[in-house]
């Protein structure tokens, strides 16, 4: 383990206080909280990052707001649903709640593919079509089989309020980079109608060889198509860090982990970094997504034509019978 960047001489508690002030100055520049999606492959530390971000905002203690953990079976994931947590749920103090702290959205991991299926799943997430506590693939299934109306039944909010304002892409600094998924992210966020800002986080810094951190970060940023100012290499609150400290993270904070996360979140919350073409509709000529929307409207059109023909048939039949009787 390498925790050599952390020294006891630095007063991280005061630094954390200054970083929170800087963050709140940024948040003061706008009113509506940003929707921040945390996206990445399975098991890289997405949920741990979300819990660490919330801990970094807190003056009390770390808490497990979204389930993180270890599953002993390959390919098995802990998070299976989209989990949306608003500032009113995770902030403790009324003073902090008066600022538009972001809404954080955790979800299941994406396969490392740049396939049409993965791109479709990303579109559903970014356009805010997946409702809170629903599974991405199940949402697509409902949309495919029951159309827009089926989706509305499981969506409790207007889609406009659920759209993602930015995306934090998470990968592990000790595993191979998920290059195919990163390519899909690049395509969906840059080449689609709605241009969503991307940030990148490499987790598990504690396990990464210190000689490789710079090159790893550079490679990560270039593959994701972002500048290094939009990236972070960090250690999350996790069991390994507890072991290093010889104590449990429950009921305490580690300001030395909070400070870099807060600096990064101040960048994420910059009002100048925003979606371009935000009003774009979730319609793509070649996607299944639009095909479903289209097929629903085409289906409705056929229903109207069918009803019209039946009514005409009934009228002609009645008139014919009436003429025959007379
Ligand atoms: N050493 C170390 N372990 C970490 C770090 N971040 C997460 N972990 C561990 O990695 C494992 C997976 O973390 P999760 O946060 O559940 O990962 P996830 O991406 O949400 O996983 P799924 O929801 O299953 O896709 C857990 O055992 C964490 O304790 C880190 O920065 N350092
Ligand atoms: Mg998870």
CA torsion 144-148-152-155 (nearest 10°) is 60
Residue with more model confidence, 140 or 235: 235
Residue 292, pLDDT above cutoff 70:
no
Q: 47, 79 in Cβ contact below 8 A?
A: yes
Residue 6, pLDDT above cutoff 80:
no
78 lines ligand 1 (CB under 6 A): yes
Contacts of 53 (CB under 8 A, 6+ apart): 104, 261, 265
Residue 226, pLDDT above cutoff 80:
yes
First to last CA, the chain: 99
48 lines ligand 1 (CB under 6 A): yes
pLDDT digits (tens, 9 = 90+) for 119-171: 988 988 898 888 888 888 888 777 777 666 666 665 655 555 689 999 999 99
The pLDDT value given to residue 10: 83
pLDDT digits (tens, 9 = 90+) for 29-86: 999 999 999 999 999 999 999 999 999 999 999 999 888 876 666 556 777 788 999 9
Report the range out of 106-120, 146-160, 236-250, 287-301 with the highest average pLDDT.
236-250
Ligand 1 atom 26 nearest Cα:
69
Atom of ligand 1 nearest to the CA of 236: 31
Structure confidence at residue 194 as a pLDDT band (50, 70, 90): confident
Atom of ligand 1 nearest to the CA of 50: 15
* Fold assignment, 12-282: Rossmann fold (3.40.50)
Find the 291 Cα to ligand 2 centroid distance in Å.
31
235 lines ligand 1 (CB under 6 A): yes
Mutate to test the pocket of ligand 1, among 175, 237, 238, 241 (most ligand atoms within 8 A of CB): 238
d(CA 177, CA 230): 17
Least confident stretch, 21-35, 178-192, 238-252: 178-192
203 lines ligand 1 (CB under 6 A): yes
Residue 20, pLDDT above cutoff 70:
yes
Residue 91, pLDDT above cutoff 70:
yes
Find the 38 Cα to ligand 2 centroid distance in Å.
10
Ligand 1 atom 6 nearest Cα:
45
Residue 18, pLDDT above cutoff 90:
yes
Q: 257, 237 in Cβ contact below 8 A?
A: yes
Atom of ligand 1 nearest to the CA of 235: 31
The pLDDT value given to residue 276: 79
CA torsion 262-263-264-265 (nearest 10°) is 50
How large is the average pLDDT for residues 214-237? 96
How large is the average pLDDT for residues 100-111? 94
% pLDDT > 90, the chain: 55
Residue with more model confidence, 179 or 290: 179
CB atoms within 10 A of CB 188: 24
Angle made by CA atoms 39, 203, 78, in degrees to the nearest 5: 55
Mutate to test the pocket of ligand 1, among 56, 68, 233, 254 (most ligand atoms within 8 A of CB): 68
**What does pLDDT average to over the chain?**
85
Query: Nearest ligand, CA of residue 175?
Result: 1
């Amino acid at each position: 383990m390498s925790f050599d960047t952390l020294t006891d001489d630095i007063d991280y508690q005061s630094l954390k206080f200054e970083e929170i002030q800087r963050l709140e100055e940024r948040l003061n520049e706008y009113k509506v909280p940003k929707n921040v999606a945390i996206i990445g492959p399975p098991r890289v530390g997405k949920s741990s990052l979300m819990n660490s971000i919330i801990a970094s905002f807190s003056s009390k203690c770390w808490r497990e707001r979204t389930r993180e953990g270890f599953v002993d079976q390959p390919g098995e994931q802990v998070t299976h649903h989209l989990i949306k947590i608003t500032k009113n749920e995770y902030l403790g103090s009324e003073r902090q709640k008066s600022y538009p702290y972001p809404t954080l959205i955790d979800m299941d991991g994406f396969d490392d593919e740049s396939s049409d299926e993965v791109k479709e799943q990303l579109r559903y997430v970014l356009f805010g079509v997946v409702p809170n506590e629903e599974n991405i693939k199940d949402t697509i299934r409902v949309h495919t089989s029951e159309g827009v109306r089926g989706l509305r039944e499981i969506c409790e909010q207007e889609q406009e309020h659920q759209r993602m304002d930015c995306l934090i892409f998470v990968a592990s600094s000790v595993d191979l980079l998920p290059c195919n998924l990163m390519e899909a992210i690049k395509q969906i966020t840059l080449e689609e109608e709605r241009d969503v800002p991307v940030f990148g986080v490499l987790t598990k810094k504690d396990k990464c060889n210190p000689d490789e951190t710079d090159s790893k970060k550079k490679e990560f940023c270039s593959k994701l198509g972002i500048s290094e100012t939009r990236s972070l290499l960090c250690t999350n609150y996790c069991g390994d860090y507890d072991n290093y400290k010889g104590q449990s993270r429950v009921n305490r904070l580690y300001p030395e982990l909070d400070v870099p996360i807060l600096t990064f979140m101040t960048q994420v919350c910059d009002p100048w970094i925003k979606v371009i073409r935000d009003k774009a509709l979730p319609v793509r000529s070649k996607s299944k997504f639009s095909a479903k929307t289209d097929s629903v409207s085409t289906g409705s059109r056929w229903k109207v034509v069918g009803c019209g023909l039946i009514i005409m048939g009934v009228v002609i039949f009645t008139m014919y019978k009436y003429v025959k009787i007379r």
